[in-house]
């Protein structure tokens, strides 16, 4: 019997890095964004249904994220249709990971964990956080988006204060060492509970 830990947080808060810290400690990690990439890639199970619904979204046998952005930009209702196709496939991918994983603790890296209600499937939730200035510096430092885009994404996500209030654990990612120490503490606590279960 494995323990399912949801891992969430807002953009630029260090979630991917924290997921790697959990993996380094022997946890099996499922990454929602990576799952979508698999589904959208050549041979991915999302390609055929997306092609049927949005023929313009397919480029060289793959779902093009750039094309999806254009489609959603032109028709905001398209997002709901895309989600109706993709969310069940993502859930199936997650269920397969859960069935196949061998680790005592499974970590589910899901940016929109609370927003999608996926927290209901977890035994506990950890939320990563960092101060707003560091968050903005990290995101803009990637060089992939402008301030306006960053603010737009933040508006669509649940406020970090609410995520932290709903989480069982909060991981401050101000430094790698501090984050690693908190991950070790959380795992020690969970493994202690598992050994007494």
pLDDT in tens, 150-189: 888 888 889 999 999 999 999 999 999 999 999 999 999 9
Where exactly are the structural domains of the chain? 1-27+104-197, 34-102
Average pLDDT, the chain: 93
One CATH from 3.30.70.580, 3.20.20.70, 3.30.460.80, 3.40.50.300 for 1-27+104-197: 3.40.50.300
Q: What are phi and psi of 3, to 5 degrees?
A: -100, 130
Mean pLDDT confidence for 28-57:
95
Distance (Å, rounded) from C-alpha 66 to C-alpha 14? 25
- Whether 1 has a pLDDT exceeding 80, the answer reads no
**Percentage of the chain with pLDDT > 90?**
82
Distance (Å, rounded) from C-alpha 21 to C-alpha 24? 5
Give me the pLDDT at residue 149, please. 87
Could you say which DSSP state residue 103 is in? S
Mean pLDDT confidence for 126-143:
93
Distance (Å, rounded) from C-alpha 92 to C-alpha 49? 15
Give me the pLDDT at residue 145, please. 85
pLDDT (tens digit per residue) in 67-118: 998 999 899 899 999 999 999 999 999 999 999 999 999 999 999 899 889 9
With contact defined as beta carbons under 8 Å apart, do 62 and 47 qualify? yes
Confidence (pTM): 0.90
- Whether 124 has a pLDDT exceeding 90, the answer reads yes
């Amino acid at each position: 019997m494995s323990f399912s830990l949801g891992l969430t947080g807002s953009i630029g808060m260090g979630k991917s890095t924290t997921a790697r810290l959990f993996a380094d400690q022997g946890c099996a990690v499922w990454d929602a964004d990576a799952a979508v990439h698999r589904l959208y890639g050549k041979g991915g199970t999302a390609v055929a249904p997306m092609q049927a619904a949005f023929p313009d979204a397919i480029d060289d046998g793959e779902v093009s994220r750039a094309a999806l952005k254009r489609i959603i930009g032109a028709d905001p209702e398209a997002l709901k249709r895309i989600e109706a196709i993709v969310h069940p496939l993502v859930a199936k991918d997650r269920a397969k990971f859960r069935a196949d994983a061998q680790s005592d603790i499974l970590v589910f890296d899901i940016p929109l964990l609370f927003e999608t209600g996926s927290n209901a499937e977890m035994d506990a939730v950890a939320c990563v956080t960092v101060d707003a200035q560091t968050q903005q510096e990290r995101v803009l430092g990637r060089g992939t988006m402008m301030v306006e885009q960053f603010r737009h994404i933040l508006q669509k996500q649940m406020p970090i204060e609410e995520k932290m209030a709903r989480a069982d654990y909060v991981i401050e990612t101000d430094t790698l060492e501090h984050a690693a120490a908190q991950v070790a503490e959380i795992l020690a606590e969970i493994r202690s509970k598992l050994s007494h279960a």
